[in-house]
Amino acid sequence: MKNSLVAALLAATVAIAAVPSAQARDGIGAGGAAALGVLGGLAIGGAIASSQNDGGYYPGRPVYRAPRPVYVEEEVCHMERRGYVDAYGYEHIRRVRVCE
């Protein structure tokens, strides 16, 4: 984008320098014509640069986020056999999962 703007300004400057000075009937001299040419080039360059915009969306600065935890410590569990006696006096043994 900057290269095209610089190229347009350079082309306008070369075109102004290459044209022999003409007599201006309305009182604008060579300096005024050069100034009008530069202003016209800037206007055209600005129009070209704004037409290549992506809708005005700017994503902003990057934001730091803490990384997700890679390792999550799981509970340490094991199976134990536990016995109990019911109301009728019978002993029952069950396997119970015990987590620490």
pLDDT in tens, 10-19: 666 655 655 5
10: domain range? 1-73
Domain presence at residue 90? no
* pLDDT score for 50: 73
What is the spatial distance between Cα 23 and Cα 29, in angstroms, rounded to a whole number?
8
Domain-embedded: residue 59: yes
Average pLDDT over residues 62-79: 84
Segment holding 83, helix H or strand E: strand 77-85
CA nearest neighbour of 10 among 48, 47, 45, 55: 45
1 pLDDT above the threshold of 60:
no
Banded model confidence at residue 67, pLDDT cuts 50, 70, 90? confident
Residue at 89 is within a domain: no
Residue 31 lies in a domain: yes
CA atoms of 10 and 37, how far apart (whole Å): 11
34 assigned to some structural domain: yes
Q: Is residue 51 part of a domain?
A: yes
Looking at residue 79, what is its pLDDT?
Answer: 95
Which tops the pLDDT comparison, 91 or 47? 91
Q: What is the pTM of this model?
A: 0.30
Q: Structural domain tally of the chain? A: 1
Is residue 80 one of the residues assigned to a domain?
A: no
Is residue 95 one of the residues assigned to a domain? Answer: no
Q: Is the pLDDT of residue 97 over 90?
A: yes
